[in-house]
Structure formats: C-alpha cells, structure tokens
Amino acid sequence: MNIIFVCHGNICRSPIAEILFNELVVLHHKEDKFVIFSRATSFEEIGNGIYYPMKQVLAKHNVIYKPHTASRITKAEFDAVDYIFYMDKNNLYYLIHLFGESKKFHLISEFGDNKEVEDPWYTGRFEYVYQQIKIYCKQIYEKMTE
C-alpha cells in the first residue's frame, strides 16, 4: 500500500506523520506491505529540512529518523499512490487544485475524531500536533491492517 502524508510545506506535520507511521510499520514487521512518504502542497519550503522546533519534539520523544528534505507532491506520485492523507482543509483545497477531486484524498483523522491538524508553524503547539499525529497514524495503521 502506497501512502503520502501531505501538509503545506512538508517541514512539520507531514514528515512527522511519515516518521511515526513508519515506526508502526517497522514495529509490526510490515515493511513489505507499505511505502510511506510525505510531501508539500506548496513550493515555499522545498529543500528545507524538518523545522527546528519539531525536531526538538522528536528528540524529546527519542524518535529516530532519517534526514528529510521538503518536496512538493508530483502528478506521478499522485498517480502511483493509494492514499493521500492531508492535515487540513487548505491542504485539500490545494490537492484538488493540483489534481482534481479524488477518492485518494483523506483527512488524516478520518478513522478517528475527524479533526484537522493545525499548522504548528503558526500556533507554536508542536508537542500538541505531534501527539495528535501519533494518535491518527495509529488509527490509520490499525484500519489498514484489520
């Protein structure tokens, strides 16, 4: 199953979702079942790494991750994936603008409380967003491995 997590810049929310979902996959020895990555809907942060305050949250939780460089979702990636999990309605707006309506688009919390994940770049609530995404990734993983 191919999954992309998307957010605006691919430096806070979507890379965290990619990292946390990958942790679940590895923990349960399902690496052969999933391809997971993250992308932006904009060009604003292309080439940048994970935003420093989010890196601090990862360090606080002893999360190990590979180096990350922000990149924007492409048409080829859109065509190749099964699911695209977005963080908020602005992400969905840009996805529809880029690719048209699609059944591939799912709010990250679709299997839970259907809440959007705020952008911590603006709110400063990096720990809160980390905890939210951790819960939603677990719910997605459980739904996809039922």
- Token pair, residue 28, equals 């349960």
Q: Six-digit token pair at 115?
A: 């809440």
* 13 annotated active-site: yes
Residue of 12, 13, 72, 137 marked catalytic: 13
Euclidean distance between CA atoms 35 and 81, whole angstroms: 9
125 is catalytic: no
Report how far apart, in Å, the C-alpha atoms of 47 and of each of 10, 99, 121 are. 10, 22, 17
Query: Is there a catalytic annotation at residue 119?
Result: yes
Considering 12, 39, 72, 119, which one is annotated as catalytic? 119
Q: What is the DSSP letter of 72?
A: B
* Selected catalytic residue, list 7, 39, 72, 137: 7
Residues identified as active-site: 7, 13, 119
